[in-house]
Amino acid sequence: MKIFNPATGALVTEVPEDGAYAVRKKYERARAAQSAWAATPIRKRVDAIRGFREQTVARQQTLARTLTQEVGKPIKQSRNELNGLLKRLDFFIAEAARVLREEKVYADEQEKLEERISHEPLGVVANISAWNYPYFVGSNVFVPALLAGNTVLYKPSEFATLTGQHIGEMLHASGVPADAFITVIGGGRTGATLLRQPTDGVFFTGSYATGARIGAAAGRRMIKVQLELGGKDPVYVCEDVDVKAAAASLADGAFYNTGQSCCSVERIYVHERVHDAFVEAFVAEVKSFSIGDPLDERTYIGPVTRRAQLDVLRRQVADAKRKGAKLLTGGNVIAGKGNWFEPTVFAGVDHRMALMRDESFGPVIGIQKVANDPEAIALMNDTPYGLTAGVYSVDEKRARRILAQVRAGSAYWNCCDRVSPRLPWSGVGHSGIGLTLSTYGIQTFTRPKAWHLRGPS
Ligand code: NAD
């Protein structure tokens, strides 16, 4: 499998892809290792994740450079991701033992009866992952999965393979047995092969199209399945905001990671009273972004990781123009080597346009004028997705009233494009099923077992 640098189009390296036989063998190793890993005291499993944290700190420069080289993420943002990973690890390290502890839920001395719940690992789980935040979306799954006593077959995206290999090396160097965490290398075909193994759960992060296939396959097998899929994340800007501050925050929310976040702001609705001022401030902000070599510390916008995505963006731009949207900046593929697209802003958009209903997953955004809160709510709900939604306003009550009516896993007031290890990360509709993070995101890798214990009479 060839790995290309999306900034230059140059070949980075080639790695062998796992075929059907290799995947089967890896599965068998993970199965054989599972009971011993589950029997390892939780303290030791936590120690291993602590070791992984230390490895991440020690190797930060190399890891950031690799990530930038294969994904195209601007180097500062690669380091931010690694620092963010540490916070997630801290959360799991602090919470795992408590969350996984067996609970006594009832006791009656006269009856000599006790009822308890234990949290059993699922067994062997497959983790098929995305490339856009490989450390985040990967660790949300494999870290709590390992802590809970599962063995993990981890297939990084074919666009983040080298990062996936680093992750494997670091976990093994930290005391996770080689067969408790196994990296499976390859693209969609390898993912499909992995899916055919008799695992006990599948945890997927990626697009709706692939997620729907994975959900169907897992459903037939009656195994646990979680799908963390795309978004078309809306934000509504009310007329009472500081327009410049809101524009700066939302431009960052839309264009950070070159717009390739599941929770990137993908559409903005602005109250008609501040619409023009907001658009002006927003476009000025976007025009100030520095585009260029992702290894340069000053770069904010890098290349688009997947070359095929350029066509999606091109099509959305052409469709919006044809239907009468006003192009305010950008709109073109940047000619030359690598996968580059100009940061693009449209106003005068509406929901007949693909730009406002289909995931863009790139540096493109539409801004639509609205007359009032009910119109904003109706538009925010008018896509099949439901990952995150935000409201910018000085009025918390109003923002909460609006957000309560929007179908989304996460609600943001005066912030966006934000994930917290303490809060559940989930979507509704085409954004997926299940959740990661928070204490629920540890329990999700377990099967609660009910214990009815009656003492001898
Ligand atoms: P993708 O669906 O193309 O690929 C995801 C993974 O699935 C890859 O590892 C790929 O090799 C594998 N795959 C592809 N076809 C498969 C098949 N038939 N069977 C099994 N595996 C298969 O998605 P992507 O381009 O890697 O990621 C981008 C998408 O992920 C976006 O839609 C984004 O919004 C979403 N995403 C969601 C979250 C979230 O937390 N909700 C986080 C990050 C990304």
Q: Is 44 exposed, middle or buried (0-12, 13-18, 19+ CB in 10 A)?
A: exposed
Instruction: Find the mean pLDDT for residues 161-186.
Output: 98
Token pair for 231: 């978004």
From 23, 73, 132, 256, mutation site for ligand 1 pocket: most ligand atoms within 8 A of C-beta: 132
**Number of the ligand 1 atom closest to the C-alpha atom of 130:** 26
What's the pLDDT tens digit per position in 269-321?
999 999 999 999 999 999 999 999 999 999 999 999 999 999 999 999 999 99
What's the pLDDT tens digit per position in 179-195?
999 999 999 999 999 99
Q: Is any ligand 1 atom within 6 A of the Cβ of residue 434?
A: no
From 18, 133, 136, 157, mutation site for ligand 1 pocket: most ligand atoms within 8 A of C-beta: 157
pLDDT value of position 243? 98
Average confidence score pLDDT of the chain: 98
pLDDT value of position 199? 98
What's the pLDDT tens digit per position in 215-274?
999 998 999 999 999 999 999 999 999 999 999 999 999 999 999 999 999 999 999 999
How far is residue 232's CA from residue 310's CA, in Å, rounded to a whole number? 18
Q: How confident is the model at residue 79 (pLDDT cuts 50, 70, 90)?
A: very high
Q: Is residue 383 within 8 Å of 232, Cβ to Cβ?
A: yes
Token pair for 178: 């080689």
What's the pLDDT tens digit per position in 86-114?
999 999 999 999 999 999 999 999 999 99
Q: Is any ligand 1 atom within 6 A of the Cβ of residue 163?
A: no
- Give, for 151, the enclosing helix (H) or strand (E): strand 151-155
pLDDT value of position 216? 93
Give the percent of the chain with pLDDT over 70: 100
User: If you measure from the C-alpha of residue 188 to the centroid of ligand 1, how many angstroms do you get, rounded to a whole number?
Assistant: 9
Q: Does the pLDDT value for residue 457 go beyond 90? A: no
Q: Is residue 184 within 8 Å of 155, Cβ to Cβ?
A: yes
The residues that are catalytic are: 228, 262
User: If you measure from the C-alpha of residue 158 to the centroid of ligand 1, how many angstroms do you get, rounded to a whole number?
Assistant: 10
pLDDT value of position 184? 98
Q: Is residue 80 within 8 Å of 300, Cβ to Cβ?
A: no
Of the candidates 113, 379, 27, which has an alpha carbon nearest to the alpha carbon of residue 234? 379
Residue 126 DSSP SS3: strand
CA dihedral over 174, 179, 181, 182, signed as positive or negative: positive
Token pair for 116: 């308890």
Cβ-defined contacts of 378-381 (< 8 Å, 24+): 379/234, 379/269, 379/351, 380/234, 380/236, 380/269, 380/406, 381/405, 381/406, 381/407
Q: Does the pLDDT value for residue 360 go beyond 90? A: yes
Q: Is any ligand 1 atom within 6 A of the Cβ of residue 321?
A: no
Q: Is any ligand 1 atom within 6 A of the Cβ of residue 65?
A: no
How far is residue 337's CA from residue 318's CA, in Å, rounded to a whole number? 22
Of the candidates 274, 275, 269, 232, which has an alpha carbon nearest to the alpha carbon of residue 377? 269
CA dihedral over 374, 380, 383, 389, signed as positive or negative: negative
Count of other CB atoms within 10 angstroms of residue 277: 13
Q: Is residue 145 within 8 Å of 92, Cβ to Cβ?
A: no
